[in-house]
C-alpha cells in the first residue's frame, strides 16, 4: 500500500474538504434466525445510507433455490420490517435477501457489489455515546472520516482515536492525521479524544477495552498469516467484544 492511501490529502488548495461521498453501511442480518438490530443502532446508523442484507445460511445438502422457494417471502417481510424502522428515522435503505452456504462469501460479494464503505458486525448495544476508532497501521483515513463524521456530526457523543502502537509504524502521526481529517469533515475538535498505547496484541487490547465504548470503528486489517489462521482481526474483535463493530472496507 502506498503512503498516500493512508495519509490522505486533507485539503484541496488549502481548503478543508466536506464529506466527499455519502458513506454506505452494509448491515447483514441472519433474518430467519430471528436476528434483528437494536433500535439504538438503527438510530446511530440512520444518517448513513444503509444496505440491509437479510441472509440465510443453509447446510450443503440443501440447494439455495429450494430454500428460497419456501422461505423467500418470510425473509423478505422480516427484512422489510427492519427497513421500515430505518425509514421512520429518515434513513435511506436498500434491502437485499440472499440464500447461501457461505456467509462470508455472500457478505463480501454484496459489500463489493453495493460499494459499501463499511460492514456492520452486530453486537448488542445501548444508547451510542462513545465511539472508539482503533488505529493500528495502514488505514483509509478519508473513508473512515467520512463515515465517522456522517454518523456523529448531527448527534451527541464523542469519538476516541486510539493508536495501538506496534513497531515500525508511526502511530501518533496516523492518529493526528485522522483527527485532522475528522475536524475537516466538520466534527468539533472537543468531541475528539486521542491516545496512543503500546500493545502486544491489538485484537486483545481492543476486546479488553470494548466495554468502555458503545461502537467500534476499525479497518479491515488486510490479509496475512494470522488472518488466514484465525480470521480477519475485525472478525476476531467482533467475536470477543461486547460492542458492535463497523469494519471500514479496504478498496
Partner 1 sequence: MGTTNEAGGTNRTGETPESASATVEDGSASVTEEGSELERSIGLVGGLSIGIGTMIGAGIFVFPGLAAGRAGPAAAGSFAIGAVIALLVALPASELATAMPKSGGGYYYISRALGTLPGAVVGISIWLGLVFATAFYLVSFGNYAAALLSEGGVNLAGLPIVDALALVFGVALTALNLVGTENAAKLQNYVVGLLLTILVLFLSYGSLDVLGVFGTESTPEQFMPFGPMPMFTTAALVFTSYLGFAQVATVAGDIKNPGRNLPLAMVGSVLTVAVLYVATIFVATSAFGSGPLAGFGETAIVEVARAFFGDAGALAILLGGLLATVSSANASILSTSRAVFAVSKDALLPTVASRVNLQYGTPHVALSMAGGPVLVLIALGEVEVLAEVASFLHLIMYGLMCVALIVMRRDEPEWYDPDFRVPAHRLVAGVGALASFGLIAFMQRESQIVGVAIMLGAAGWYKYYAADVKLKGVL
- The number of CA neighbours under 13 Å toward the Cβ of 223 is 2
102 binds partner 1 (CB under 8 A): yes
For the record, the C-alpha cell of 25 comes out as 453501511
Task: Pick the stretch among 97-105, 118-126, 152-160, 190-198 that binds partner 1 (CB under 8 A).
Answer: 97-105
Q: What is the DSSP secondary structure assignment for residue 136, as one 8-state letter?
A: -
* Residue 98 CB, nearest approach to partner 1 (Å): 4
Exactly one of 15, 61, 189, 225 binds partner 1 (CB under 8 A); that residue is 61
List beta partners, residue 55: 30, 98
32 binds partner 1 (CB under 8 A): yes
58 binds partner 1 (CB under 8 A): yes
Distance CA 235, CA 207 (A): 11
Long-range contacts of 75-84 (CB under 8 A, 24+ apart): 75/31, 75/32, 78/31, 78/32, 78/54, 79/29, 79/31, 79/52, 79/54, 82/29, 82/31, 82/36, 82/37, 82/42, 82/52, 82/54, 83/52
Task: Pick the stretch among 22-30, 96-104, 165-173, 230-238 that binds partner 1 (CB under 8 A).
Answer: 96-104
- Smaller CB separation from partner 1, 75 or 82: 75
Distance CA 242, CA 209 (A): 9
CB atoms within 10 A of CB 91: 18
66 binds partner 1 (CB under 8 A): yes
Q: Is 221 left (phi over 0), alpha (psi -120 to 50) or beta?
A: left
Question: How many chain residues are in contact with partner 1, going by CB under 8 A?
Answer: 32
Exactly one of 9, 21, 39, 72 binds partner 1 (CB under 8 A); that residue is 72
- Smaller CB separation from partner 1, 114 or 166: 114
96 binds partner 1 (CB under 8 A): yes
62 binds partner 1 (CB under 8 A): yes
34 binds partner 1 (CB under 8 A): no
Task: Pick the stretch among 4-12, 55-63, 182-190, 228-236 that binds partner 1 (CB under 8 A).
Answer: 55-63
Exactly one of 5, 36, 76, 186 binds partner 1 (CB under 8 A); that residue is 76
**Backbone Cα Rg of the chain:** 18
Which residues form the interface with partner 1 (CB under 8 A)?
Answer: 32, 56-73, 75-76, 96-102, 105-106, 109-110
Amino acid at each position: 500500500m502506498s503512503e498516500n492511501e493512508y495519509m490522505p490529502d486533507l485539503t484541496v488548495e488549502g481548503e478543508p474538504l466536506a464529506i466527499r461521498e455519502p458513506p454506505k453501511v452494509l448491515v447483514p442480518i441472519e433474518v430467519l434466525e430471528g436476528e434483528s438490530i437494536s433500535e439504538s443502532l438503527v438510530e446511530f446508523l440512520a444518517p448513513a445510507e444503509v444496505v440491509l442484507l437479510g441472509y440465510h445460511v443453509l447446510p450443503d445438502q440443501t440447494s439455495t433455490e429450494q430454500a428460497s422457494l419456501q422461505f423467500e417471502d418470510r425473509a423478505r417481510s422480516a427484512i422489510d420490517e427492519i427497513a421500515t424502522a430505518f425509514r421512520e428515522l429518515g434513513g435511506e435503505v436498500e434491502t437485499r435477501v440472499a440464500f447461501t452456504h457461505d456467509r462470508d462469501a455472500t457478505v463480501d460479494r454484496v459489500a463489493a457489489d453495493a460499494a459499501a464503505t463499511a460492514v456492520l458486525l452486530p453486537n448488542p448495544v445501548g444508547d451510542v455515546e462513545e465511539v472508539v476508532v482503533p488505529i493500528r497501521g495502514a488505514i483509509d483515513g478519508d473513508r473512515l472520516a467520512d463515515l465517522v463524521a456522517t454518523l456523529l456530526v448531527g448527534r451527541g457523543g464523542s469519538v476516541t482515536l486510539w493508536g495501538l502502537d506496534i513497531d515500525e509504524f508511526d502511530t501518533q502521526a496516523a492518529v493526528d492525521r485522522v483527527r485532522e481529517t475528522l475536524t475537516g469533515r466538520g466534527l468539533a475538535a472537543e468531541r475528539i479524544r486521542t491516545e496512543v498505547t503500546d500493545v502486544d496484541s491489538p485484537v486483545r487490547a481492543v476486546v479488553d477495552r470494548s466495554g468502555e465504548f458503545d461502537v467500534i470503528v476499525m479497518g479491515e486489517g488486510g490479509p496475512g498469516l494470522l488472518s488466514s489462521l484465525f480470521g480477519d482481526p475485525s472478525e476476531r474483535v467482533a467475536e470477543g467484544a461486547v460492542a458492535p463493530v463497523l469494519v471500514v472496507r479496504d478498496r
